[in-house]
Chain A
């Protein structure tokens, strides 16, 4: 089914609650037509608040502005905003069948019976719920309920689809398969969507772009891969994956390097003020003791099945966590050489602030 592709512009949108707490700092964000954008962050970071502001379920502070395409919707009530929403626990109507749930939005709009049946049939096919039309939500599995919720939300051809932690209610094993299914469905629908989650893998798997949030503001927006590889902010680096911190003294900063025993790793000159840099465990190469490589001793070796986690003691840095392939020969107590490619280093404090 074809849906309208709408651009969403959020500008200077803020939310202060009645008790004076700032749920969301003034925030600006754009979602391209047909794009899936994830709002990613820990609980309490304001991602759900932002989603509910876009939905119209919360009233933003004065001066906020939200537009869908050419229409300003800031003051439109949620009923008339033309959004579809998938709730955290789906909020399916318990007394209605799968069919009736999906058709609800059409029914309240007074769509005629034939058209209603056509749309519901089409959606049942799309989300593969054939044979379950007459079942009640309570009789469905978690993944099926999630698909009903998605079908119900898109049945009314919303301009924007909003997903509030759509996978939280599922157990870990189911999560992965439902996640990929959801990603595929969203691609097929080609609808502008905003997806709230605290799970970085979910965000990476489903969204085209990620907006990482912390303490009521957006820290960085970008494609998942770019955010993972070249974060501008240590929070983004540590929220999207695991990191090690390497300290730099004044001499190292002046020489534009970070020191790892005998090895100097070049840092961009713009990082002169960074007194520490970050590196991911999988970006640390662990090999034989070699001239020109850093020295380390393996103090712990944890076999994780698909990979091995090594804890490395260094003479001049805090201990590092490294991850190597499952067949790596390093054992506990071994002296090893380590190397880090310069392009894998990430800034240890916020770049934009420092470079200004």
Chain B
């Protein structure tokens, strides 16, 4: 049974106002990508022309961005989880310093991080011209998010007892790490993966400095289209972004929630 609630009218109005204010830019942007001529407005008629043009010009960046994000998640799993465990179990001061250093790329502007990467490794042209260079940038930027999330999960007191319990039962390090610790922190790993994927897909700052005309990601292409194309194409590009990326993110979120529920404590 629902209890009747008193909702004050000003509160409803305020909520509606804020909602309209937030949704208007998205609606207008999406509309701009669907009309024949933005300055003439809806009168000029609706079209899918801009969308197909965007797909032709920038379609590759969608796949590139998704693949890059996936590889970034994979790299984070391979490097980030062992790193998180090591940091969680180490009591040395060096570990704390290292943790701070790891977090630095989040605070330092992406442009500066990118410039540093170019200065250090820009001469290795095979590397510089490939997506691997962009991937490294994304890894540097996203690693602290994965490491922090998973490391704090590893530090929960019950994890220490779980590990000790596994040891008393005769489990070696690999057995207890794979069989007990990883499953116990799985929700944190899933949360970390989602965060890393989302950050990587939307990353512009670093990527803009690191990309080459042949290694563009979706946000970089978006900037390019805003700068050099008609407004309608830029807007259609936004629509593409929403149509492709949002379902993927929602799907991943749902998968994440499912796993968390399944592993609920």
Interface segment out of the listed B37-45, B61-69, B77-85, B171-179: B171-179
Interface set, chain B 168-188, CB cutoff 8 A to A: 168-172, 175, 179-180, 183-184, 186
Given contacts A80-B170, A88-B161, 6 further A-B contacts (CB under 8 A): A85-B165, A89-B161, A95-B186, A108-B171, A138-B264, A153-B169
Task: Check A93/B170 contact, CB under 8 A, given A87-B164, A138-B264, A138-B265.
Answer: no
Complex interface: chain A residues within 8 A of B170 (CB): 79-80, 105, 108-109, 156
Task: Check A79/B172 contact, CB under 8 A, given A91-B158, A94-B263, A95-B183.
Answer: yes
Interface set, chain A 102-117, CB cutoff 8 A to B: 104-105, 108-109
Complex interface: chain B residues within 8 A of A162 (CB): 168
Residue A83 interfacial (CB < 8 Å): yes
Chain B: how many interface residues by the 8 Å CB criterion? 21
Residue A78 interfacial (CB < 8 Å): yes
Main secondary structure of the interface of B (DSSP, over half): helix
Residue A340 interfacial (CB < 8 Å): no
Interface set, chain A 155-186, CB cutoff 8 A to B: 156, 162
A41, B237: Cα distance in complex, Å: 71
Complex interface: chain A residues within 8 A of B265 (CB): 94, 138
Cross-interface CB contact of B165 among A77, A80, A91, A109, cutoff 8 Å:
A91
The answer to whether B169 and A91 touch across the interface, beta carbons within 8 angstroms, is no
Would you give the shortest CB distance from B114 to chain A, in whole angstroms?
40
The answer to whether B169 and A156 touch across the interface, beta carbons within 8 angstroms, is yes
Residue B230 interfacial (CB < 8 Å): no
Residue A55 interfacial (CB < 8 Å): yes
A158 and chain B: residue at smallest CB distance: B168
Residue A347 interfacial (CB < 8 Å): no
Complex interface: chain B residues within 8 A of A93 (CB): 162, 165-166, 180, 183-184
Would you give the shortest CB distance from B212 to chain A, in whole angstroms?
45
Residue B96 interfacial (CB < 8 Å): no
The answer to whether B179 and A79 touch across the interface, beta carbons within 8 angstroms, is no
Residues in chain A within 8 A of chain B (CB atoms) = 55, 57, 77-80, 83-85, 87-89, 91-96, 104-105, 108-109, 138, 152-153, 156, 162
Complex interface: chain A residues within 8 A of B186 (CB): 95
The answer to whether A108 and B164 touch across the interface, beta carbons within 8 angstroms, is no
Would you give the shortest CB distance from B242 to chain A, in whole angstroms?
36
Residue B89 interfacial (CB < 8 Å): no
The answer to whether A78 and B167 touch across the interface, beta carbons within 8 angstroms, is yes
The answer to whether A79 and B171 touch across the interface, beta carbons within 8 angstroms, is yes
Task: Check A85/B168 contact, CB under 8 A, given A95-B263, A108-B175.
Answer: yes
Give the A-B pair count, Cβ closer than 8 A.
Answer: 70
The answer to whether A91 and B171 touch across the interface, beta carbons within 8 angstroms, is no
Would you give the shortest CB distance from A41 to chain B, in whole angstroms?
21
A94, B260: Cα distance in complex, Å: 12
**Among A79, A105, A152, residue most surrounded by chain B Cβ atoms (within 10 Å):** A79
Complex interface: chain A residues within 8 A of B158 (CB): 89, 91
Complex interface: chain B residues within 8 A of A83 (CB): 168
A161, B133: Cα distance in complex, Å: 55
The answer to whether B171 and A95 touch across the interface, beta carbons within 8 angstroms, is no
The answer to whether B168 and A78 touch across the interface, beta carbons within 8 angstroms, is yes
Q: Mark B213-243, 1 if CB is under 8 A from A, else 0.
A: 0000000000000000000000000000000
A55, B167: Cα distance in complex, Å: 10
Would you give the shortest CB distance from A62 to chain B, in whole angstroms?
22
Complex interface: chain B residues within 8 A of A80 (CB): 170
The answer to whether B175 and A87 touch across the interface, beta carbons within 8 angstroms, is no
A82 and chain B: residue at smallest CB distance: B170
The answer to whether B165 and A108 touch across the interface, beta carbons within 8 angstroms, is no
A138, B264: Cα distance in complex, Å: 8
Interface set, chain B 89-109, CB cutoff 8 A to A: none
A94, B264: Cα distance in complex, Å: 8
Complex interface: chain B residues within 8 A of A89 (CB): 158, 161
A79, B179: Cα distance in complex, Å: 15
B167 and chain A: residue at smallest CB distance: A78
The answer to whether A91 and B184 touch across the interface, beta carbons within 8 angstroms, is no
Complex interface: chain B residues within 8 A of A87 (CB): 161, 164-165
Complex interface: chain A residues within 8 A of B264 (CB): 138
A261, B243: Cα distance in complex, Å: 96
A88, B165: Cα distance in complex, Å: 11
Task: Check A105/B169 contact, CB under 8 A, given A95-B186, A138-B264, A138-B265.
Answer: yes
Task: Check A57/B164 contact, CB under 8 A, given A91-B158, A95-B184, A138-B265.
Answer: yes
The answer to whether B169 and A104 touch across the interface, beta carbons within 8 angstroms, is yes
Would you give the shortest CB distance from B205 to chain A, in whole angstroms?
38
A85, B170: Cα distance in complex, Å: 11
**Among A92, A95, A138, residue most surrounded by chain B Cβ atoms (within 10 Å):** A95
Would you give the shortest CB distance from A54 to chain B, in whole angstroms?
11
B186 and chain A: residue at smallest CB distance: A95
- 13 residue pairs of the A-B complex, CB under 8 angstroms, read A55-B168, A57-B167, A77-B167, A78-B164, A78-B168, A84-B169, A85-B168, A91-B161, A95-B183, A96-B183, A108-B169, A108-B172, A108-B175
